[in-house]
Every structure is written in C-alpha cells, then in structure tokens.
C-alpha cells in the first residue's frame, strides 16, 4: 500500500473521543468531553424542528442564510459594538472546528510561521501542519496561566503569518484581559501579522468579568478573524453551527477554503440559531449565572474529595491537581484510573501540551446537571475514602 498523508496519520484518536468511549464502557459520569447537559433552550430546539418540517431543506448559500448572517452581525453589535457589513464580513460554517480549518487553510502559505499559546485545543496543530505552517509555541501554565510576554514577543518575527488565540481558553479557563490583549495587538502591528481568534466560549465568562474580542482593539479590525459557535451559546454542541467574522480582504480567502471543506451548513439549524441569537439579555446572563453556579458546585465538591482546584474565569472547564490525593502516576493514568475504578471521567491536561511538566492536572467539565455533578463527587468521595463502590450504571449522567 502507498503511504497515506504523513501529517494526519501521525496523530491518534482525539482525547475527547477516547475518554468518552472509555467513559461509556465503564458506565462513568462523563465530566470529560466538553458538552453541556440540561441547558438546551426549548424554543431554539422547537424552531429547528419546525424548520425541518417546513423546509427549505436544500443547500443554502455557501456564506450562510441571510437571516443567520444578519443575526450574527446584530449579536456582535449588541455585545461588542462591532459594526459589521454582513454580506461581506460574516460567514457561517459547520461548527467552529470547520471555521478554524477554513481560516488556517485560507491564510497559511507553506513555510509561514504560526504563533500559538499552549494549552492548545486539539485541532489547531494538525491543521496548521497540514497547511504547511510552522508552529511557534509559547505556553501559559497552571496555577496562574500568566502570559509570558517576553517569550511571546520572541516567538514573533518577519516570518509570522498569524497568531491563533483562544480566549476564554480551553482548558485553562483563562480570560485574556485588556492589558494582555493590548500587548498582543502591539505584536501583530509590529510584525504585520493576523490573528485567528477562537472565541467559542465568549458568553461563558464568570464573576462579572468581561470577554474582550481582540478585533475590537484599535487597529485590529483589519487583522483579526473572530470565530464563534452556536454549540456553546445554546448548549447544542452536536449541531455544529459556527461562524467567522472578518474584514472582506480576510474573509474572502477563508471562504475559498470553506467552499471546498463543507460548502454549507443545514438551513434548519441556521434558522434556529438566527432565532436564538435574538434572545434577550436575560438569556445570556442566565446562561452565565447557571454555569457559574455549576462551576462553584463542582469546585466545592472536588475540594471536599481532596483535590486542589484551580480558579477558572471562563469556559466549561476547571482543572484540579490530584497529587494531594496521593496518586503518584501521571494525569493520563489518573483519568483512566478514576474512569475505570471510580466511575467518573475527566481529561488529562497534558493532552493540550506538546510534552513538558504539566502532567498532574485533570480537567473536569462543569456544564452538567447538578445531579451529574453531585453523583460524580459522591463517587469520587467514596472511592478515595476506600469505601466499596456500587457498580457504576449507565444512567442519565453519562
Ligand atoms: N475551539 C475550542 C477552544 C473548543 O473547546 C471547541 C470545542 N467545542 C471548538 C473550538 C469547536 O467548536 P465546534 O463544536 O463549534 O466545532
Ligand atoms: N471542545 C470539547 C472539549 O474540549 C470537545 C470537542 C470534541 O470532542 N471535538 O472537550
């Protein structure tokens, strides 16, 4: 057999799929893969059902339905004061994952350097490498996830095509503040580079903090591509409806990639998301409040078990150091151990790094029902106290 593509075949199955399969096999409460439970807005789901029955059910425009593109522009005006010309500056994609791939394939020339800040969401590096880009990695690390400005500055050069920035950040829960963003904007201007901004957790920012899109900073309108996901805003991750906004000169090359990746996205789901984006501020505030409360519930529970939990300012995730529990293996071993033996699944934080010392934290997703969070904590408490476990069941918690 002739060899297949060497870049993609060098990667295994993603950690999210791997841990969800293991979780199911053991009837574990799945606090691993980042998908929410019990938060789907009924009116958005009903709107999709109506739109399937009523149609149209044929290809929409490759750029997205006008209704959804206008709703995205209105959303970005409402929350960030952005003034978008939707016909030239808004494109719908099949999830943020496709938006990321379209941006990277559309912008990178082989040999271009791409600056990234670890921890990294899993799709970034394989796509950058497949596009011929050369990654330049800088890292933020637990417990404070502070941006090392000198190292970031040193990663930029005349060869830098773009920075890939994820804020709020998965799995760190870091929300880049105005100072960090101003520093980053300065580097982009100095080196004439672009930024692909993965902002899928834009509404999941807690404790009164504010999400600031890099594109809203002075001089950044012509340099940034901002990616959003309805999966996160409406807790409907399986729908895979996402988008990119950018000035026409940047959006056009991205549309060239998108037209050959997926071309378009189901029209019924676009109709429902357009409806959802128009929901009043109470919906968005309620989502943040609900998830903030779940974060606190899980953090308190994990601390009772004996974990040292880290603060999380945004996203669905909190990381916890398991060394106080006396476990001496690495994070991969720990996450498998608690899935198989305690019936609770988490994701090893090292999966978001290319090697290094960050190997004693487990990432837990708190976007779950109170019942699932309580059951997970109860199982972990019993397990680490050495009490016999009732065999985990594949109940509604998975
Ligand atoms: N970026 C980040 C940081 C994510 O955590 C995820 C996972 N949901 C995505 C992108 C992908 O989003 P989507 O499901 O819309 O493709
Ligand atoms: N974003 C989700 C997470 O971080 C997973 C998405 C996926 O499974 N591809 O858990």
Q: What is the CATH number of the domain that holds 99?
A: 3.40.640.10
Both 263 and 308 in a single domain? no
Give the Cα separation of 65 and 81 in Å (integer): 22
Q: What pLDDT does residue 398 have? A: 37
Give the residue-averaged pLDDT of 237-241: 98
What does the pLDDT average to over 98-126?
A: 98
Ligand 1 nearest-atom number relative to CA 169: 3
Mean pLDDT of 275-290: 98
Q: Ligand 2 atom closest to Cα of 32?
A: 10
CA dist., res. 278 & res. 71, Å (int): 7
Residue where a domain terminates, one of 278, 294, 325: 278
- Ligand 1 atom at minimum distance from 98 CA: 16
- What's the average model confidence in pLDDT over 329-351? 98
Domain shared by 136 and 51, yes or no: yes
Q: Measuring from each residue's beta carbon to the nearest atom of ligand 2, which residues come in under 6 Å?
A: 14, 16, 33-34, 170
**The predicted structure's pLDDT at residue 356:** 84
Q: Is 385 helix (H, G, I), strand (E, B) or coil?
A: coil
pLDDT tens digits for 27-70? 999 999 999 999 999 999 999 999 999 999 999 999 999 999 99
Are residue 18 and residue 61 in the same domain, yes or no?
A: no
Are residues 345 and 270 part of one domain?
no
Q: Per-residue pLDDT for 393 more than 80?
A: no
Give the chain's domain count.
2
- Same domain as 338, residue 266: no
Query: Domain end: 278, 298, 328, which one?
Result: 278
Contacts of 385 (CB under 8 A, 6+ apart): none
- Show which of 278, 298, 322 is a domain's final residue: 278
Total residue length of the chain: 398
In a domain, 394, yes or no: no
Ligand 1 cavity residues, CB under 6 Å: 34, 95-97, 121, 166, 170, 198, 200, 229, 231, 237, 240, 242
Residue ranges making up the domain that contains 170: 43-278
C-alpha span between 31 and 363 (Å, rounded):
8
Query: Would you say residue 308 has pLDDT above 80?
Result: yes
pLDDT score for 397 = 38
pLDDT level of residue 357 (50, 70, 90 thresholds):
confident
CA–centroid distance, 120 to ligand 1, in Å, is 11
| Pair 114, 235 in one domain | yes
- At 389 the pLDDT is 63
Residue nearest to atom 7 of ligand 1 (CA): 34
102 alpha carbon – ligand 1 mean position (Å): 14
Ligand 1, residues 35, 92, 200, 240: which to mutate, most atoms within 8 A of Cβ?
A: 200
Distance 307 CA to ligand 1 centre (A): 27
Does 390 have pLDDT greater than 80?
no
Tell me, yes or no, whether 247 lies in a domain: yes
Across the chain, what does the average pLDDT equal?
96
The tens digit of pLDDT for each residue in 78-87 reads 999 999 999 9
Pocket test for ligand 2, best of 13, 23, 30, 33 (most atoms within 8 A of CB): 33
User: Do 125 and 273 fall into the same domain?
Assistant: yes
Give mean pLDDT, residues 129-140: 98
Token pair 């060497």: residue: 6
Tell me the C-alpha distance between 212 and 97, whole Å: 21
Q: Do 21 and 78 sit in the same domain of this protein?
A: no
Residue 395: pLDDT band (50, 70, 90) is very low
Do 345 and 256 belong together in one domain? Answer: no
Shared domain for 122 and 102, answered yes or no, is: yes
Do 173 and 254 share a domain, yes or no?
yes
Asked whether the predicted pLDDT for residue 272 surpasses 80, the reply is yes
């Amino acid at each position: 057999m002739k060899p297949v593509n060497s870049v993609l075949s060098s990667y295994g199955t993603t950690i999210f799929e791997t841990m969800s399969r293991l979780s199911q096999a053991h009837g574990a409460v799945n606090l691993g893969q980042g998908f929410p439970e019990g938060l789907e807005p009924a009116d958005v789901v009903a709107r999709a059902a109506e739109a399937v029955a009523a149609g149209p059910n044929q290809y929409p425009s490759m750029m997205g339905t006008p209704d959804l593109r206008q709703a995205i522009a209105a959303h970005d005006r409402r929350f960030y004061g952005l003034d978008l010309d939707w016909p030239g500056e808004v494109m719908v994609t099949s999830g943020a994952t496709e938006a990321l791939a379209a941006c990277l394939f559309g912008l990178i020339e082989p040999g271009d350097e791409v600056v990234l800040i670890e921890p990294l969401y899993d799709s970034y590096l394989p796509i950058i490498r497949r596009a011929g880009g050369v990654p330049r990695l800088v890292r933020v690390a637990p417990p404070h996830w502070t941006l090392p400005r000198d190292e970031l500055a040193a990663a930029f050069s005349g060869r830098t095509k773009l920075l890939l920035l994820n804020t709020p950040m998965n799995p760190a829960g870091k929300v880049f503040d105005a100072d960090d963003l101003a520093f980053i904007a300065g580097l982009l201007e100095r080196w004439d580079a672009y930024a692909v901004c993965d902002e899928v957790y834009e509404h999941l920012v807690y404790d009164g903090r504010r999400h600031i899109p890099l594109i809203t900073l002075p001089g950044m309108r012509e340099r940034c591509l901002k990616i959003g996901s309805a999966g996160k805003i409406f807790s409907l991750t399986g729908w895979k409806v996402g988008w990119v906004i950018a000035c026409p000169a940047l959006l056009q090359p991205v549309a060239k990639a998108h037209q050959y990746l997926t071309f378009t996205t189901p029209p019924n789901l676009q109709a429902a998301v357009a409806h959802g984006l128009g929901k009043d501020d109470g919906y968005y505030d309620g989502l943040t409040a609900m998830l903030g409360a779940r974060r606190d519930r899980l953090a308190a529970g994990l601390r009772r078990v004996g974990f040292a939990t880290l603060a999380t300012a945004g996203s669905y995730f909190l990381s916890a150091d398991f060394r106080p529990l006396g476990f001496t293996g690495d994070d991969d071993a720990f996450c498998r151990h608690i899935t198989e033996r305690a019936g609770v699944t988490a994701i090893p934080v090292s999966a978001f790094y290319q090697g290094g010392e960050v190997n004693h934290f487990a990432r837990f997703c708190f976007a779950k029902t109170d019942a699932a969070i309580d059951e997970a904590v109860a199982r972990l408490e019993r397990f680490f106290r050495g009490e016999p476990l009732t065999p985990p069941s594949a109940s509604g918690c998975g």
